[in-house]
Homo-oligomer: A and B are copies of this chain.
Amino acid sequence: MAMGKINQERREEILSAALRIAENGGLAAMSMRAIGAEVGLTPMALYGYFASKDELLDWLVGRVLQEVPLPDPEADWRERLLACARGARAAAHRYPRTFSVLLNRPVVLPEAMRVVDPLYGALMDAGIPHERVAGWERMFSTFVLGFAVSEVSGRFGEGNLGTRERRERLGPRELPAHHRLGEVLDLPVDWDAEFEEGLTRLVAMVEAEGTGPA
């Protein structure tokens, strides 16, 4: 940037505008021109706040991370882990078209550390050896982000509509296991319950490795 003080409030305003545009219209609609118009500026004025659109997207990761609430530090470490996970998934549901930037871009922001820090704290309090805390945090956040992104990107399937007919187009020779399972695959899915089940398993695994409160 090579720039002196710049108006931080205005920068936040620009990022919120970008987020708004991405949520109605999709990420593709989030052009510099559209963002500029949303805040009443020429597209070129944005280059006073961000060196490029790519840098703006990096900051947008931080803007989305701000929407993940921090857990109550007084709570049990289990409660803190659950609160972080549920808060992140809730943010994904709130910003379904933008959330995937979290998995697609290298995270090199203070905001990322702000969100990771309570996870480190909870894992230490669970008694995880210090040299293994970062690895557990990666497991935990990979599950949470992976699940949330899969949900909102539609990778898990949009309510299984049409799944049955697609399955039958290929036949039991190509898809033996699908056909053995049959109509069980068309059952509705309780995504909340599935997420909570995964979380419960993870917390149990942390508990098993931990040696009790530090």
Contacts and interface: CB of A to CB of B under 8 A. Distances in A.
B113 A198 contact: no
B184 A130 contact: yes
Given A103-B100, A130-B181, A201-B205, A108 B166 contact: yes
A194 interface: yes
A174 to B, nearest CB: 7
Interface residues on A, range: 35 or more
A137 to B, nearest CB: 10
B103 A135 contact: no
B194 A155 contact: no
Residue in A113, A157, A174, A197 whose Cβ sees the most chain B Cβ within 10 Å: A113
B113 A155 contact: no
Nearest to A190: B135
Interface stretch (A8-16, A36-44, A85-93, A140-148): A140-148
B178 A103 contact: no
Contacts of A106: 153-155, 157-158
A65 to B, nearest CB: 12
A105 interface: yes
Which of A116, A146, A184 has the largest count of B CB atoms less than 10 A from its CB?
A: A146
A135 to B, nearest CB: 6
Contact of A100 (B104, B131, B198): B104
Nearest 10 CB-CB pairings of A with B? A146-B146, A106-B154, A120-B177, A121-B177, A142-B146, A117-B177, A130-B184, A117-B175, A131-B184, A142-B147
Given A103-B155, A117-B175, 18 more contacts: A100-B104, A103-B146, A104-B153, A106-B157, A116-B178, A117-B176, A118-B177, A119-B177, A124-B180, A124-B181, A130-B181, A130-B184, A134-B184, A135-B189, A142-B150, A145-B146, A146-B146, A146-B147
